[in-house]
């Protein structure tokens, strides 16, 4: 038998495949968390571009940020979706998602996945040192994490959760820029904050177009990174 010559296939990096697979796992388990992760990834890529990072780096940050909450796969859904206030024990369990995410993503040697592991570990660190799990301060927190942190907080404030309604864009921006009982402007990098404010209108339009209620069981339809990186959202 004559061996059929296979057409060379398009090379897809392992990190891209991993991002897609892990994202689908998250979507299958908890659509709310997945829609959030997909939008945070897109916003992080856009913000990284505004801060002057090269396109390839922006794309890597976007894919990595998509997996920032992957450690929540290990947390029981009844705790993730429980209304506030949480007991100290429950809050402690939720916080472990950072280290679980690092464990899931680290150690492959793939630079994009190592970036994803670092974002999973430190996306809840705060510039003023009040974050977790390591209480890092200032620029000890990497730029991709300083970028992801603000996108994460914005999306969480906008999103309807099983235990509360999401905020309007205006209210979410007010919380980020003036603070409330959980958030203070001092937790964010001022340069990243300023870039975020600069695209306030775009951020609102993007969230509105990709809100959970628009996805209707198709969270993978969140506007793809490629389109976002061409700034046509």
Q: What residues make contact with Fe ion under the rule CB under 5 A?
A: 69, 152
- Closest distance between Fe ion and the C-beta of residue 40, in Å? 6
Q: Is 107 left (phi over 0), alpha (psi -120 to 50) or beta?
A: left
The least distance separating Fe ion from the CB of residue 159, rounded to whole angstroms, comes to: 9
CB of 69 or CB of 118, closer to Fe ion: 69
> Of the two residues 39 and 59, which places its CB atom closer to Fe ion in the complex?
39
Nearest approach in angstroms of CB 101 to Fe ion is 8
Nearest approach, Cβ of residue 233 and Fe ion (Å): 20
Phi, psi dihedral angles at 164 (to 5 degrees): -165, 160
Q: Which sign, positive or negative, has the C-alpha torsion 194, 200, 206, 210?
A: positive
Looking at the Cβ atoms of 24 and 230, the one nearer to Fe ion is 24
Q: Taking each helix axis from N to C terminus, what angle separates 143-158 and 169-178, rounded to the nearest 10 degrees?
A: 130
Burial class of residue 84, CB neighbours in 10 A (0-12, 13-18, 19+): exposed
Pick between residue 59 and residue 158 the one whose CB is nearest to Fe ion. 158
Q: How far is the CB of 65 from Fe ion (least distance, A)?
A: 9
Nearer to Fe ion by Cβ, of 26 and 53: the residue is: 26
Backbone CA torsion sign across 138, 155, 170, 175: negative
Calpha distance 137→126 (Å, rounded): 7
Q: Which helix (H) or strand (E) holds 113?
A: helix 111-122
Q: How far is the CB of 83 from Fe ion (least distance, A)?
A: 18
User: Residue 198, Cα to own-chain centre: how many angstroms?
Assistant: 20
Helix, strand or coil for residue 171? helix
In this complex, which beta carbon is closest to Fe ion, that of residue 14 or of residue 76?
A: 76
């Amino acid at each position: 038998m004559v061996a059929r010559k296979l057409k060379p296939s398009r090379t897809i990096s392992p990190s891209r495949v991993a991002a897609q697979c892990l994202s689908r796992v998250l979507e299958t388990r908890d659509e709310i968390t997945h829609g959030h992760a997909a939008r945070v990834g897109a916003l992080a890529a856009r913000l990284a571009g505004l801060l002057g990072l090269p396109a390839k780096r922006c794309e890597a940050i976007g894919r990595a940020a998509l997996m920032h909450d992957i450690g929540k796969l290990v947390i029981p859904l009844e705790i993730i979706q429980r209304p506030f206030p949480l007991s100290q024990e429950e809050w402690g369990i939720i916080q472990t998602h950072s280290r679980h995410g690092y464990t899931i993503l680290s150690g492959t040697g793939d630079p994009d996945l190592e970036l994803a592991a670092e974002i999973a570990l430190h996306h809840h660190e705060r510039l003023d040192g009040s974050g977790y799990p390591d209480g890092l301060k200032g620029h000890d927190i990497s730029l991709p994490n300083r970028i992801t942190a603000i996108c994460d907080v914005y999306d969480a404030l906008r999103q309807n959760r099983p235990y509360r309604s999401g905020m309007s864009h205006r209210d979410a921006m007010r919380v980020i820029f003036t603070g409330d009982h959980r958030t203070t402007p001092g937790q964010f990098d001022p340069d990243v904050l300023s870039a975020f404010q600069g695209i306030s209108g775009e951020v609102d339009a993007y969230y509105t177009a990709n809100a959970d209620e628009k996805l209707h069981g198709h969270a993978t339809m969140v506007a793809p990174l490629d389109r976002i990186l061409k700034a046509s959202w």
